[in-house]
Amino acid sequence: MADSGNQGNQPGHTPFRFGVNLMRFTTGEELVESARRAEGLGYDVVCVPDHLGLPAPFPALVLAAQATSRVRVGTFVLNAAFYNPVLLAREVASTDRFVGGRLDLGLGAGYVKEEFEAAGMPFPSPGERVDHLSRTVAELRRVFETEQPAPVQRPAPPILLGGHGDRMLRLAGREADIVGFTGISFLPTGPVLADEEELDERVALVREAARGRAVEPEFNLLVQRVVVTSDRAAALASLEREFEGLPGASADFLGRLPYLLVGTPDEIAEQVRAHRARYGISYFTVLDDYLTDFAPVIERLRADPPLTRKGR
């Protein structure tokens, strides 16, 4: 497999990577502009999501790669339930060739019931969706080994599996090159963000599932909000008012959520360093609303002294 930057997950000793998920573009020109800006600001990965109503991901990634020279491109994440695995393998292999071996393949189980309905598809149970995802990963790897066209990256592009539930994260721990912690539970009452203790438990579950692997997967965190401010307390108070309908969403609670980064660039950089030290998370993805705001944080973290790897 080509080098995706994943050197194994040693808490506090893995170099940072930074990605942005581009969702706001509607034209090729807008996508090119955002991809080039991300590369210029120091991001490592430019991603696009997979939702009905948004541009198709694979053509967008080819265009983003043609407009840039350094960044990797990735899906964040494909709804695997929408794809026949063999046909998906052809799309992935062709895209990896067209982008010069710079593809990261993010896969998820799918969670938006309305999108299944719009596609005229039944909405399987969570377990059935994870089962399909597991079969998809296995079939992709089989096809990449035995059929053409083959991807540039051998044996396969790095696979990111993202989610929050037990079965999803156990699968990711066993099979993924990159585990994406989304931190959201979709309950009947609405989405709920995981707190720091719950993320501890999610990370421990993945590490247990990954036990025995030669290299532990890289850990990714999907950051839900970046608020750059000189007054962190006032910003958290504002967020408390915004989330007043969410039980227990005090300013103190929100300030401890790993998925919310609030403060000056220096304060946010310290939060990111703390997440790597505590959870072993070294790869952070932000939404494109925060593409520019997060850039000074990247600059500060790039200035950190080189890390010494244990056992290397």
Q: pLDDT for 251-285, tens place per residue? A: 999 999 999 999 999 999 999 999 999 999 999 99
Residue 275: what pLDDT? 97
Tell me which of 32 and 111 has the higher pLDDT: 32
Residue 245: what pLDDT? 74
DSSP designation for 309: P
Is 27 buried (19+), middle (13-18) or exposed (0-12) by CB count in 10 A? Answer: exposed
Residue 148: what pLDDT? 84
**Per-residue pLDDT at 33 exceeds 50:** yes
Residue 3: what pLDDT? 45
Exposure string (b/e) for 208-228, b if CB count within 10 Å is 16 or more?
Answer: ebbeeeeebbbbbbbbbbbbb
**Per-residue pLDDT at 10 exceeds 60:** no
Residue 185: what pLDDT? 72
Tell me which of 68 and 185 has the higher pLDDT: 68
Least confident of 181-190, 196-205, 254-263, 265-274: 181-190
Residue 1: what pLDDT? 40
Q: Cα(242)–Cα(234) distance, rounded to whole angstroms?
A: 12
Token duo for residue 28: 């090729």
Q: Is the whole-model pTM more than 0.85? A: yes
Residue 7: what pLDDT? 44
**Is the four-CA dihedral 197, 203, 208, 209 of positive or negative sign?**
positive
Residue 191: what pLDDT? 67
Residue 312: what pLDDT? 35
Percentage of the chain beyond pLDDT 90 is 85
Q: What band does 311 get if pLDDT is binned at 50, 70 and 90?
A: very low
For residue 47, give the 3-state DSSP assignment: strand
**283 contacts 220 by C-beta, under 8 angstroms:** yes
Residue 9: what pLDDT? 56
Strand segments, DSSP code E, in the chain are 17-21, 45-48, 72-75, 78-79, 103-108, 159-163, 178-181, 184-187, 190-193, 218-222, 225-228, 260-263, 283-287
Has domain 17-302 been given CATH number 3.20.20.30?
yes
Residue 106: what pLDDT? 98
Tell me which of 193 and 48 has the higher pLDDT: 48
**Per-residue pLDDT at 187 exceeds 80:** no
- The predicted model gives 74-89 an average pLDDT of 97
Q: What band does 310 get if pLDDT is binned at 50, 70 and 90?
A: very low
Least confident of 11-15, 144-148, 230-234: 11-15
Domain boundaries, the chain: 17-302
**Per-residue pLDDT at 29 exceeds 90:** yes
Q: What band does 5 get if pLDDT is binned at 50, 70 and 90?
A: very low
- The predicted model gives 172-177 an average pLDDT of 98
